[in-house]
């Protein structure tokens, strides 16, 4: 299949945080069998691929992002037989399966690191990043951990520091070592051989560090309400030029198998993000575009973000959009419950591959977590400034049963207090619910292929009205989104807005003819269709 017709270009991705999706064995933690049990929900929703946050063997210092065995399934989530059953069930149901690859660091309990710290002469020593102390005995440089404190941990047995961009229990691998690269590429081949359809690569821009380990410069824009690691700019500890060679090698491994996808997690400015598509588009198929995660929720800001992103794309590169993930506050809390419906229409009508975060389809909000119940190591290390990620990782709200139908035990994180009415069962029965809006938007996207493959054309608008067109295959769809609480009326004569409403965010205007004026209620969006 040529890339222009690849499934991931027209598909819709859905991220599952396995700990919080469905518990099947009564321990209060979600698992693989639970995911299998809930696949019908995803099929009804209409998504095309599921991405699982890590399920590999792990001490769970960072809830699976500290891997002790890259080719093992943690017993908390099940067995390899369970995983094989999930691959088969997903594929039988028409769903692709994407795994979270975490190649930047391992657990400090991984056999590679246990061997590496035995002595300076161990063959695995250079698999990690070790440096002698500074002249004063302190850390080798000023690099900071994203989870607080120095990024260097002193090892008393061997008298050197090792580098960890995140927790001290997550030592960074040395990606300048060819043996490390070969080992991770073989891990990729192992899972691709088992039928997974690709990888989302965690913190891919961190993989290569400055060879001279120079101090990072101070951040002139830092203020005390931000995480401490932002005091310095990561000029030398991430996004080094040599990282693109690694990304190209990962892409080559993925390309050994048919119809697979490589997705990169990259939090970088736009111009640097674009480089991860690689030379001649030989890098990541989809460097994640997180612009909407922190966008001011105003029409002109979003219009500019979309325009800048579209203009920056290299020729032939394919865009993508994300509204939420396991690290950022829930979209319904960022923009409000009513605007969450408008945000859903935005996500599913922009040009490019959309990714949904579990629970966003039912409007799950950011859940306040009491200090005594905090599980996130980031919040524990850097308390008091709101960096905790637990609030966006709470259990999926399936029904009004105890613990939202997620578990029969005490859940690992508290369930949101609105679960008795905001849940899949209730919202399925409500014909105008946000869940049924998501289903309708996905059906519309698949019925009108122009939403998946057509061009994007902005339309001039004022105030908090966002207008754009999707054109192709003899069809023009106009999307009108009111990002304000107040109603707005737009003259359609000569504007190209005339046509028939195919969908409203309130699911009550289908088939309405627009000719003369388009009236939008506050917090309403519509898709208008007409022939080209």
DSSP string, 206-241: GS---TT-PPPPB-TT--TTS-GGGGB--TTTS--T
Would you call 1 helix, strand, or coil by DSSP?
coil
pLDDT at 5: 78
Mean local confidence (pLDDT), 147-176: 98
Tokens 């913190």 locate to 203
Q: What integer pLDDT is reported at residue 1 of this predicted model?
A: 37
Pairwise CA distance, residues 118 & 180, whole Å: 18
The DSSP H or E segment spanning 7 is: helix 7-10
Residue 4 has a pLDDT of 67
pLDDT, tens only, 242-297? 999 999 999 999 999 999 999 999 999 999 999 999 999 999 999 999 999 999 99
Backbone angles phi, psi at 303, to 5 degrees: -55, -45
Question: Among residues 242, 255, 256, 519, which one is catalytic?
Answer: 256
Mean pLDDT of the chain: 97
pLDDT of residue 516: 85
Q: What is the architecture, at CATH level 2, of domain 111-163?
A: Alpha-Beta Complex (3.90)
Q: What is the pLDDT of residues 440-477, one digit of tens each?
A: 999 999 999 999 999 999 999 999 999 999 999 899 99
The count of other CB atoms within 10 Å of the CB of residue 187 is 19
**How confident is the model at residue 506, as a pLDDT?**
97
Per-residue pLDDT tens digits for 192-239: 999 999 999 999 999 999 999 999 999 999 988 899 999 999 999 999
pLDDT at 152: 98
pTM, two decimals, is 0.97
pLDDT given for residue 8 in this prediction: 98
Q: Model confidence over 64-116: pLDDT tens digits?
A: 999 999 999 999 999 999 999 999 999 999 999 999 999 999 999 999 999 99
Nearest to 481 by CA among 306, 358, 288, 294: 306
Q: Are 496 and 489 in contact (CB under 8 A)?
A: no
Say which residue the tokens 């002193």 belong to.
154
Find residue 353's DSSP bridge partners: 320
Q: What is the mean pLDDT of residues 293-306?
A: 97
CB 492 within 8 A of CB 518: yes
Does residue 334 register a pLDDT over 80?
yes
CATH of 455-531, picked from 2.60.40.10, 3.30.470.30, 2.60.40.1180, 3.40.50.720, is 2.60.40.1180
Nearest residue to 463 (alpha-carbon basis) of 481, 443, 444: 481
Same fold, 3-106+178-441 and 111-163: no
Domain boundaries, the chain: 3-106+178-441, 111-163, 455-531
Q: List the catalytic residue out of 172, 202, 390, 464.
A: 202
Q: Which CATH number is 3-106+178-441's, of 3.20.20.80, 3.40.50.970, 3.40.50.720, 3.40.640.10?
A: 3.20.20.80
Listed in sequence order, the residues at least 6 apart from 381 whose beta carbon sits closer than 8 Å to its beta carbon are 147, 148, 149
How far is Cα 525 from Cα 461, in angstroms, rounded to an integer?
Answer: 14
Q: Is 202 an annotated catalytic residue?
A: yes
Tens digit of pLDDT for each residue in 368-392? 999 999 999 999 999 999 999 999 9
pLDDT exceeds 60 at position 2:
no
């Amino acid at each position: 299949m040529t890339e222009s017709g690849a499934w991931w270009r027209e598909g819709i991705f859905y991220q599952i945080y396995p700990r919080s999706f469905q518990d099947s064995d009564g321990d209060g933690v979600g698992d693989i069998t639970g995911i299998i049990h809930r696949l019908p929900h995803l099929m009804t929703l209409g998504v095309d691929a599921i991405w699982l946050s890590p399920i590999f063997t792990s001490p769970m210092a960072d809830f699976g992002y500290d891997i002790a065995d890259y080719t093992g399934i943690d017993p908390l989530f099940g067995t390899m037989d369970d995983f094989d059953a999930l691959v088969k069930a997903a594929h039988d149901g028409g769903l692709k399966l994407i795994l979270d690859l975490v190649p930047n660091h391992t657990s400090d309990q991984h056999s590679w690191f246990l061997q590496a710290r035995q002595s300076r002469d161990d063959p695995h020593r250079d698999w990690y990043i070790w440096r002698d102390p500074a002249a004063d005995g302190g850390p080798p440089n000023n690099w900071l951990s994203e989870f607080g404190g120095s990024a260097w941990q002193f090892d008393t047995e061997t008298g050197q520091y090792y580098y960890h961009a995140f927790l001290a229990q997550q030592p960074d691998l040395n990606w300048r070592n060819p043996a490390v690269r070969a080992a991770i590429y073989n891990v990729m081949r192992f899972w691709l051989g088992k039928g997974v359809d690709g990888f989302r690569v965690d913190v891919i821009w961190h993989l290569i560090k400055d060879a001279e380990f120079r101090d990072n410069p101070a951040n002139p824009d830092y203020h005390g309400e931000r995480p401490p690691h932002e005091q310095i700019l990561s000029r030398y500890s991430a996004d080094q030029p040599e990282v693109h060679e690694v990304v190209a090698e990962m892409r080559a491994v993925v390309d050994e198998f048919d119809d697979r996808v490589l997705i990169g997690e990259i939090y970088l400015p736009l111009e640097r993000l674009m480089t991860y598509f690689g030379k001649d588009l030989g890098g990541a198929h989809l460097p994640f575009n997180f612009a909407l995660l922190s966008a001011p929720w105003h029409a002109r800001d979003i219009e500019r973000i979309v325009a800048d992103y579209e203009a920056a794309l290299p020729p032939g590169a394919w865009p993508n959009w994300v509204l939420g993930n396991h690290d950022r506050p829930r979209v319904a809390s960022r923009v409000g419950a009513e605007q969450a419906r408008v945000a859903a229409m935005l996500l599913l009508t922009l040009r490019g591959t959309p990714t949904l975060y579990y629970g966003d389809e039912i409007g799950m909000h950011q859940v306040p977590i009491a200090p005594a119940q905090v599980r996130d190591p980031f919040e524990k290390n850097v308390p008091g400034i709101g960096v905790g990620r637990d609030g966006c990782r709470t259990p999926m709200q399936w029904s009004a049963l105890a613990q939202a139908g997620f578990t029969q035990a005490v859940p690992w994180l508290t369930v949101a207090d609105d679960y008795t009415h905001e849940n899949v069962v209730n919202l399925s029965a409500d014909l105008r619910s946000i869940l049924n809006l998501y289903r309708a938007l996905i059906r519309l996207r698949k019925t009108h292929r122009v939403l998946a493959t057509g061009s994007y054309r902005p339309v001039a608008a004022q105030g908090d009205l966002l207008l754009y067109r999707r054109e192709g295959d003899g069809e023009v769809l106009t999307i009108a989104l009111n990002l304000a609480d107040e109603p707005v009326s737009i003259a359609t004569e000569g504007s190209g807005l005339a046509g028939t409403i195919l969908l409203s965010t309130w699911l009550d205007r289908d088939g309405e003819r627009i000719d003369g004026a388009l009236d939008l209620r506050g917090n309403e969006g519509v898709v208008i269709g007409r022939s080209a």
